[in-house]
Homo-oligomer: A and B are copies of this chain.
């Protein structure tokens, strides 16, 4: 097992591995070689082996990898303890669609509650309570570290408030550029940027 810090590129592949392994497991496969996994997800086998080595000695020489073991290990590292309390900030169309999305459980945790600046949005959707943003500090769940941002205005201002309330990781659906301190992470899940990148690629083959 290699003890260096995990490269960024490797970190980005971990969710992909977990996703693929679960798919394979659902197909009834319980053992796999880096080789096969590689051709399944289009990643070089040697890259896979190296990526895995940062987490531990997961495979057996001459045998391959046990899918169940891999899944358990990855889930442990990627939030599979299922106790992450996530909040959604912004209860517009997108925020509500996410609340109705029923695949949060058994993945990383659960959406504990949501917030919106508009007091008229207060209520309950799919058993998830929506509170006014003004009551953030009162209603934010204990130990909550991750927020999903689906606001349409004042994203920066909202993020600043959330950081103050203890959030250290953001998933942002907004197309706004947001600045966060070094010890806070933000991941953009941004359709527009994705389409732009896609157009650039498609135009530059």
Interface residues of A (CB under 8 A from B): 5-6, 11-12, 14-16, 18-20, 23, 40-42, 77-79, 84, 86, 93-94, 96-98, 100-101, 103, 107-108, 145-146, 148, 168-171, 175-177, 179, 183, 185, 187, 189-205
Contact B177 A198 (CB under 8 A): no
Assembly CA distance A200 to B75 (angstroms):
10
Which of B40, B170, B191, B203 contacts A148, CB < 8 Å?
Answer: B191
Contact A202 B187 (CB under 8 A): no
Shortest A154–chain B CB gap in Å is 13
Contact B79 A196 (CB under 8 A): yes
Take A15-B196, A189-B191, A197-B12 as given contacts and tell me if A23 and B177 are in contact as well, using a CB distance cutoff of 8 Å: yes
Assembly CA distance A43 to B161 (angstroms):
24
Assembly CA distance A133 to B191 (angstroms):
22
Contact A16 B108 (CB under 8 A): no
Contact B97 A177 (CB under 8 A): no
A-B contact pairs, 30 of them (CB 8 A): A6-B200, A11-B197, A11-B201, A14-B196, A15-B193, A15-B196, A15-B197, A18-B196, A19-B175, A40-B179, A42-B179, A77-B200, A78-B196, A78-B197, A79-B195, A79-B196, A79-B199, A93-B97, A93-B100, A93-B101, A103-B175, A108-B196, A169-B199, A170-B198, A171-B195, A171-B198, A185-B202, A187-B194, A189-B189, A189-B194
Contact B78 A202 (CB under 8 A): no
A11 CB contacts on chain B under 8 angstroms: 197, 200-201
A168 CB contacts on chain B under 8 angstroms: 202
Assembly CA distance A93 to B98 (angstroms):
8
Residue of B nearest to A78 (CB): B196
Residue of B nearest to A194 (CB): B187
A205 CB contacts on chain B under 8 angstroms: 183
A42 CB contacts on chain B under 8 angstroms: 179
Shortest A111–chain B CB gap in Å is 11
